[in-house]
C-alpha cells in the first residue's frame, strides 16, 4: 500500500467553466505505478468544485443554467457587501457542489462509465489558473 | 492494508427512484474480511447519484420533489435538443448530487447514524439495471 | 499504511448553523502520527452535512439563504406529515449537501486553500451535540 500525492494544472475562464480532467487523472494513476485503489480529486480553493458529467456541448450549457437558478450571479450576497469582489455566487455554488471526489480504479483504469468524465467546475468570476490535488492510495 | 473491489447490482424504475443499498454494502464489507477502513460507493454512470437519507416513505417523496424544483423534468435542456433521449434533467440532477460517497467502517460495521441509510438515486427516465462499484480500503 | 478512527465533538444551534472544524481535524491528524493520506470527515446522522467554505460572516448568511430557497423551512414535507418532528427541510438539505468529505494531507498538513475551511452544516431544527467521525488512512 502506498500514498502518492500529485497535482494537475488547469486554466479556466471562470463563470461556471467546466474542464474535463479525466485524461490527466488517468495519466497520474499510470505514473504512480499503483494498480488498484482510489484517487481523490481535490480543489484547494473555495470557488470551484468537482463532479462527473457526460462531457458534451448540451450539458456544458445546461449545468451552468441550473447553477444560475440556484445561486444567481446578479443576486445580492452578504459576501460581496463586505469584500466587494463580486464572487458571492461562486462561493455558494462551490460549497453546494463540493470540492472533493473519490474515484476507484483497478488495473490502473478508472472505474468510470462509458459516458462519464471527471470535471472541475470553476465558478469564480474571472479566469483562473489552478492546481488540483490528486491523492492516490492503493497497492 | 488491502484494497478489495466489489460490485452490487440494483434494479431501478428511474425517475428519481431511491434504492437503499446499506445491507448490500455491509455484506460486501463482511465478505472482504477487512476490519476497519473506508468503502467508496461509486456510480459508474452519469444519470444516477449516491447519498444518505433516513429511508422512510415521507422522504422518498420529499427528495424527488426537491430535485424537481432544481431541475424540472419538463424544462428544456440543450442535452435533449442534441441527443433526443429526454434525460437532460437526469444528467443535471446527477451531476449536482454526485456519484461517489465514502463511508468509514470499524470492526466491520459502517459508522452510520441509527436512521441513516446509503441510497442510490436513479434519475434516468427509464428502468435501469446498474452495477455499483464498491472500493474497500483498510486493514 | 494505517487506519486511525477518531471523533470530534461539536455543539450546534441547528437551523443551518455552520461550524468550522478545520483546527480539530488538523489536531486529529497530528495525533494520528500519519504523515500523508486522506481524512474522511463523516456525519453519522441524516440532518447535517459537510463541505468547505471561506469561513467569513457574509457567507455564513449567504449559504443558509441559498438552502432556504432549495428546501424552504416552512414548506410542506411528507416527512413531517408522518413524523411531526418538523425537520423535513433538514433532511432534504442534508441529503443534497452530503454527509462525507475526503480531504488529502501531506507532511501532516491538510491540502486546503488559504481561504478554505472544513465546515459541518447542521440543518436540524433544534440545538444538537454531535460526534463527527474522522477516518484517517495513510502512511
- ipTM, interface predicted TM-score of the complex: 0.97
Residue B83: band (very low, low, confident or very high) from pLDDT cuts 50, 70, 90 = confident
Backbone phi, then psi, for B28, in 5-degree steps?
-65, -40
CATH number of B2-138: 2.60.120.460
**Average pLDDT over chain A, rounded to whole?**
97
Instruction: From chain B, pick out residues whose CB is under 8 angstroms from the CB of A38.
Output: 40, 135, 137
Which residue among A70, A83, A135 sits closest to C58, beta carbon to beta carbon? A83
| Residues A69 and A34: beta-carbon distance below 8 Å | no
Residue C69: band (very low, low, confident or very high) from pLDDT cuts 50, 70, 90 = very high
Answer whether residue B1 shows pLDDT above 90.
yes
Q: Please indicate if any CB of chain B lies within 8 Å of the CB of C96.
A: yes
Q: Which chain A residue shows the shortest CA-CA distance from C36? A: A3
For testing the chain A interface, which of B84, B96, B97, B129 should be mutated: the one with the most A CBs within 10 Å? B96
For testing the chain B interface, which of C79, C97, C132, C136 should be mutated: the one with the most B CBs within 10 Å? C79
Q: Please indicate if any CB of chain C lies within 8 Å of the CB of A137.
A: yes
| Residues A46 and A94: beta-carbon distance below 8 Å | yes
pLDDT given for residue A82 in this prediction:
87
**Average pLDDT over chain C, rounded to whole?**
97
Which residue among C42, C71, C94 sits closest to B111, beta carbon to beta carbon? C42
Residue B87: band (very low, low, confident or very high) from pLDDT cuts 50, 70, 90 = very high
Identify the CA nearest to C130 among candidates C1, C7, C11, C20.
C11
Distance of CA C44 to the CA centre of its chain: 10
Residue B135: band (very low, low, confident or very high) from pLDDT cuts 50, 70, 90 = very high
Q: What would the pLDDT profile of B43-71 be if each residue is shown by its tens digit?
A: 999 999 999 999 999 999 999 999 999 99
Give the side-chain half-sphere CA count within 13 A for A33. 4
Q: What is the mean pLDDT of residues B99-118?
A: 98
pLDDT given for residue C82 in this prediction:
87
Q: What angle do CA A49, A51, A53 make, to 5 degrees?
A: 135
Q: C87-91 long-range CB contacts below 8 Å, 24 or more apart?
A: C87/C47, C87/C123, C87/C124, C87/C125, C88/B58, C88/B59, C88/B62, C89/C123, C89/C125, C90/C14, C90/C47, C90/C123, C90/C124, C90/C125, C91/B53, C91/B54, C91/B59, C91/B62, C91/C46, C91/C47, C91/C123
Q: What is the mean pLDDT of residues A118-123?
A: 98
Instruction: From chain C, pick out residues whose CB is under 8 angstroms from the CB of A135.
Output: 37-38, 104, 111
User: In 3-state terms, what secondary structure has residue A29?
Assistant: helix
Nearest chain C CA: its distance from A59 CA (Å): 20
> Can you give the residue ranges of every domain in chain C?
2-138
Residue B112 CA to residue B119 CA, distance in Å, equals 12
Q: Which are the contacts of C56, defined by CB distance < 8 A and separation ≥ 6? A: A79, A82, A83, C115
B37-43 and B128-138 beta bridge pairing: antiparallel
Q: Please indicate if any CB of chain B lies within 8 Å of the CB of A4.
A: no
Q: What is the mean pLDDT of residues A91-104?
A: 98
Answer whether residue B102 shows pLDDT above 90.
yes
**Higher local confidence (pLDDT), A82 or A24:** A24
Q: Which are the contacts of A50, defined by CB distance < 8 A and separation ≥ 6? A: A41, A42, A43, A97, A98, A99, A100, A101, A118, A119, A120, A121, A132
Q: What would the pLDDT profile of C80-116 be if each residue is shown by its tens digit?
A: 998 889 999 999 999 999 999 999 999 999 999 999 9
Amino acid at each position: 500500500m502506498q500514498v502518492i500525492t500529485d497535482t494537475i494544472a488547469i486554466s479556466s475562464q471562470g463563470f461556471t467553466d467546466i474542464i474535463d480532467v479525466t485524461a490527466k487523472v488517468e495519466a497520474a494513476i499510470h505514473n504512480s505505478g499503483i494498480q488498484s485503489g482510489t484517487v481523490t480529486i481535490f480543489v484547494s480553493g473555495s470557488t470551484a468544485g468537482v463532479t462527473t458529467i457526460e462531457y458534451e456541448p448540451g450539458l456544458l450549457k445546461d449545468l451552468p443554467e441550473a447553477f444560475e437558478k440556484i445561486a444567481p450571479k446578479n443576486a445580492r450576497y452578504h459576501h460581496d457587501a463586505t469584500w466587494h469582489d463580486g464572487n458571492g455566487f461562486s462561493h455558494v455554488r462551490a460549497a453546494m457542489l463540493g470540492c472533493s471526489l473519490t474515484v476507484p480504479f483497478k488495473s490502473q483504469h478508472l472505474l468510470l462509465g462509458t459516458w462519464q468524465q471527471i470535471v472541475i467546475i470553476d465558478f469564480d468570476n474571472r479566469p483562473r489558473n489552478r492546481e488540483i490535488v490528486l491523492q492516490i492510495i492503493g497497492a
